Structure 1
């Protein structure tokens, strides 16, 4: 029975990695669609979000079955419960990517990115894609150094997020209302995507080391 249980835990990890890899593909497509006004790529991201959702549901069902049948304790229990929480964050990351793609689609054939913020969003998107790729590797290897890298890159995204608000609220901002709304929404989606990755990284770090890094005290909507 113990061997079966370990196989089930391995399957949970494998499925988390699979979902994380799909999220990385999704954010990469969303960033490209947003920055390049590629409506075909945006449609792909939007359509594929249902696959992420479906795999998340399947993983949750597996985890609940393990809890009911195996009744794990101590670290094994923390692994299964953490998997449920991680899958929820991955699902939300997929949603953030979908929201970015929807912005790109809604403004096609125009660009959703205001001209004065294109370099900022290009860098935010690059960092989000890098974080997503590192997150999949973290879930695969539990290498805590990757968790620290994710947190460092999230700090950079936070700074860029604040710079967007400084820009659109500044006296020199000439963007129309639609451009202002697009910029603030897109910045929020990029920032929240990274925040969910940091939340996952902290959970993996805790499971690997036993040391818990406290969650941010900032509000976490969406």
Structure 2
């Protein structure tokens, strides 16, 4: 029975990695569609989210089945419960990618962001893609150094997010009301995407070390 249980736990980890890999693909397509006004990429990103949602439901059903049948305790219980929480964060990351892609699709053929902020969003998007790829690696390898790197990259996203708000609230801002709304929403989506990655990294650290790392912001 123990061998069966360990095999099921390995399957949970494998599915988390697969969902994370799709999230990384989704945010890459979403941010490129947003920055390049590519409606085709936007549609692909939205389609990826549908796959993410489907796989998340399947993973949650597996985890619930494990809880009911195996009745794990101690660290094994924490692993299964953490997997449920991680899958929820991954699903939300997929949703945020979709929101970014939808902004690109809605504004097509125009770009969603005025010229003065495009380099900021290009940098923010690139950081989100890097974070998503590192998160997949973290879930695969459980290399705790990656959790700290993800936190540091999130700090950069936070700083860019703040700069967007400073720009749209500044006296020199000439954008229309729609531009202000789009910039504010898009910046928030990018920032929350990275925040969810940090939250997952925090849970992986906890499972790996047994200590709750307060320096990583959920």
* TM bracket (short chain): over 0.9
Task: Tell me which residue corresponds to 2:131.
Answer: 131
- Between the aligned partners of 2:154 and 2:217, the Cα distance in structure 1 is 12
SS in 2 for 1:109: coil
In the alignment, structure 1 residue 174 sits paired with structure 2 residue 174: yes
Task: Tell me which residue corresponds to 1:52.
Answer: 52
Task: Tell me which residue corresponds to 2:100.
Answer: 100
Task: Tell me which residue corresponds to 2:23.
Answer: 23
Task: Tell me which residue corresponds to 1:62.
Answer: 62
Deviations 1:58-87 (A, max 9, x none): 000000000000000000000000000000
- Between the aligned partners of 1:50 and 1:38, the Cα distance in structure 2 is 19
Q: CA deviation at 1:49?
A: 1.0
Alignment of 1:73-88 (within 5 A): 73-88=73-88
Task: Tell me which residue corresponds to 1:113.
Answer: 113
Contact 2:198–2:217, Cα closer than 8 Å, also in 1:
no
Number of aligned residue pairs: give it: 217
Taking structure 1 as the reference length, the TM-score comes to: 0.96
Deviations 1:160-207 (A, max 9, x none): 000000000000000001111110000000000000000000000010
Contact 2:138–2:144, Cα closer than 8 Å, also in 1:
yes
- Between the aligned partners of 1:127 and 1:156, the Cα distance in structure 2 is 8
- Between the aligned partners of 2:39 and 2:58, the Cα distance in structure 1 is 30
- The Cα RMSD (Å) is 0.9
- Between the aligned partners of 1:206 and 1:184, the Cα distance in structure 2 is 33
Task: Tell me which residue corresponds to 1:162.
Answer: 162
Task: Tell me which residue corresponds to 1:195.
Answer: 195
